[in-house]
Amino acid sequence: MIPYIQYLGDNRCEFTVWAPFLNNLAIQFIDQDNAIHMEKKSHGIFFKSLENISPDTLYYYRLNDQYNRPDPASNFQPHGVHGPSQVIDHTSFVWQDKNREGIPLAKMIMYELHTGTFTQKGNFDAVIPRLDALCDLGVNTLNIMPVAQFPGERNWGYDGVYPYAVQNSYGGPDGLKRLINACHQKKMSVILDVVYNHLGPEGNYLAQFAPYFTNKYKTPWGDAINFDNAHSDMVRNFFIQNALYWFKFYHIDGLRLDAVHAIFDMSAKPFLQELSEKVEDYSKKKKRKIYLIAESDLNDVRLIRPKKTGGFGLDAQWCDDFHHSLHALVTGEKTGYYQDFGKLEHLKKAFKEGFVYSWQYSNFRKKHHGNSSINRPNEQFIVFSQNHDQTGNRMLGERISTLVSFEALKLIAGVVLFSPYIPLLFMGEEYGEETPFYYFVHHSDNDLIKAVRNGRIAEFKDLQWQGAPTPPDPYDKENFMKSKIRWEKRENDHHKILLNLYTCLIQLRKTIPAIANLKKNNLKIHNEKMNLVLKLERWCQNSHIFCVMNFHKEDQSFQMNFSGNPWGKILDSSDRIWDGPGSSLPQRINQTERLIIRPLSFSLYKKEILS
């Protein structure tokens, strides 16, 4: 593996850059007139070791004596995507997380957070004071949306162009380190969202250095990253080193790999497999388990199968089918990909197997889709009732809280947190935040701004025919400001009640073995015929729970069949303490009987242990 820029201490710095087709590459320090020429080594690597380089030195690479360009592996871009790169001394930060144990995957309660809109200040330091509240909620793992330097100050992060540089407006390298350090001190793990399928359009000078891209495949964002053509070894090196960089210098506990379906790679050892091998090697060497979690649109267990059975060996993946099943069921929406969902059967299959589409015909995709995940362990799936995409990719960025009733919100919380998968909350979800999560960008290129605006309008053309408003302007700062969550709401009214419910559900999930246990076989699920009631049983040794969920907007009756010990009620979301209409279910069930459950509610029972 080839490293890139490395500050070695004592004002010594090694510069390494890959540019196989250039003859002439130099380092242009901002405070010096003359550029310093680098030596070309094998495989197109330029190298220079220099002394008297203090940390924080600003530099460009100078290409063929003509252009100054930032370092593709820049560790920091203090003046944005077009400005000079800065030398960073990663040894100077004082970490206080020695000997910590990370949260094991199966015990993770994830919280997805967008740094720019989580707080008014919109930076890493502003997150820290809120960590205690997240710990109180029960969350133990932050999932931070991408932080690689993007153009301007407003972006989801998927337009990042310097994979190694922490966004300047978020607080740069030290800001991120302070946040991670604080998380680790509070025993929280941190997963970082990284984008290895494309780079943003503005400030992307990589193609001037080397064949990072290929036109052999098309992605929604243009040419694909070259993972399997000539020279792809060094492209892979760039991204694999990036992964290791986050673990080494930022103590990151895992990566969320964005949209791996847009990583096209026909080689005999696909990039994702190589990445997973290298991360596994690093994990073993450091005796610290690091997780790789994919976002994928493919419903393909190849991603998460072990390498020895032909898989890539990733640890887990997000399970969109679970979300879509739940969302379509509670909202009744039927557009776009929701047309493939909407029946209780779908949610039931998601509970039992993970993927709902396991090579069935998808009307949305107009083709068969997916393969079966029935044999994959349950901790390999991350589930959620919303995330940045499922809100922000709506024309108006609506969160689920503005689409369904309060009763339904509570039900949704129960579905996710009592599911036998890894739950993920989207920031603000825990108290029913209603602010939209808009799509926003802050490019400086006018053509690009126009293109993004028009793209957004084109995307929702169909909706506009139906008389809806036009999409909010992604470039308008107001829309970014409106997307910031209002943390203070959590203290009041039904926000507070929902927060208490989430806290209670997470607590139950952590403490009741039958819920904490994610084993596939310890689950029984049925739906009552012809109505929208789901009955879920889970067990683990002596612990045995029963959960009934009513997706109907009216009271529903269901049959309680059992043998053995009676069941004691633990929680009913329709109870008055949760601002519901009041429970219709008994505290204790000791005989087979027909019971009534309130609209859009769930209730949890635990089998009593008689001594």
Task: Output 231 or 343, the one with its CB closest to a copy of itself.
Answer: 231
Pairing, β 543-550 against β 601-607: antiparallel
- Is 14 catalytic? The answer is no
Contacts of 182 (CB under 8 A, 6+ apart): 128, 131
Task: Output 213 or 502, the one with its CB closest to a copy of itself.
Answer: 213
Task: Output 219 or 517, the one with its CB closest to a copy of itself.
Answer: 219
User: Using CA atoms, how far apart are residues 125 and 140, in angstroms rounded to an integer?
Assistant: 18
Minimum distance, C-beta of residue 239 to a copy of itself, in the bound complex (Å): 15
**The CA-based dihedral angle spanning residues 168, 173, 174, 178, taken in that order and rounded to the nearest 10 degrees:** 110
Task: Output 339 or 517, the one with its CB closest to a copy of itself.
Answer: 339
User: 499-504 long-range CB contacts below 8 Å, 24 or more apart?
Assistant: 499/137, 499/430, 499/431, 500/578, 501/410, 501/413, 501/573, 501/578, 502/137, 502/138, 502/413, 502/417, 502/425, 502/429, 502/430, 502/431, 503/136, 503/137, 503/138, 503/430, 504/571
Query: Could you write out the DSSP letters of every residue in 332-372?
Result: ---SGGGGG--SHHHHHHHHHHS-S-SSEEETTTTEEE---
Minimum distance, C-beta of residue 392 to a copy of itself, in the bound complex (Å): 24
- On the CB side of 545, CA atoms within 13 Å amount to 23
Minimum distance, C-beta of residue 341 to a copy of itself, in the bound complex (Å): 18
Q: Which amino acid belongs to residue 470?
A: T
Report the Cα–Cα distance between both ends of the chain, in Å, rounded. Answer: 61
Minimum distance, C-beta of residue 377 to a copy of itself, in the bound complex (Å): 17
User: Using CA atoms, how far apart are residues 175 and 171, in angstroms rounded to an integer?
Assistant: 5
Contacts of 94 (CB under 8 A, 6+ apart): none
Task: Output 88 or 314, the one with its CB closest to a copy of itself.
Answer: 314
Minimum distance, C-beta of residue 403 to a copy of itself, in the bound complex (Å): 28
User: Using CA atoms, how far apart are residues 198 and 214, in angstroms rounded to an integer?
Assistant: 11
Task: Output 366 or 594, the one with its CB closest to a copy of itself.
Answer: 366
Task: Output 264 or 558, the one with its CB closest to a copy of itself.
Answer: 264
Minimum distance, C-beta of residue 306 to a copy of itself, in the bound complex (Å): 9
Catalytic residue among 193, 295, 429, 433: 295
Catalytic residue among 258, 315, 407, 433: 258
Applying CB under 8 A, the residues found at the interface with a copy of itself are 215-218, 228-233, 261, 264, 266-269, 298-302, 305, 308-311, 358-359, 361, 365-371
Query: Could you write out the DSSP letters of every residue in 419-448?
Result: SSSEEEEETTGGGT--S--------S-HHH
Task: Output 299 or 543, the one with its CB closest to a copy of itself.
Answer: 299
CB 257 within 8 A of CB 272: yes
User: Using CA atoms, how far apart are residues 542 and 514, in angstroms rounded to an integer?
Assistant: 8
H/E run at residue 322: helix 320-331
- Return the closest-CA partner of residue 305 out of 295, 317, 296: 317
- Residue where the block lists tokens 């998460």: 304
Take residue 535 and report the two structure tokens written for it: 């009955």
- Is 389 catalytic? The answer is no
Catalogue the active-site residues.
258, 295
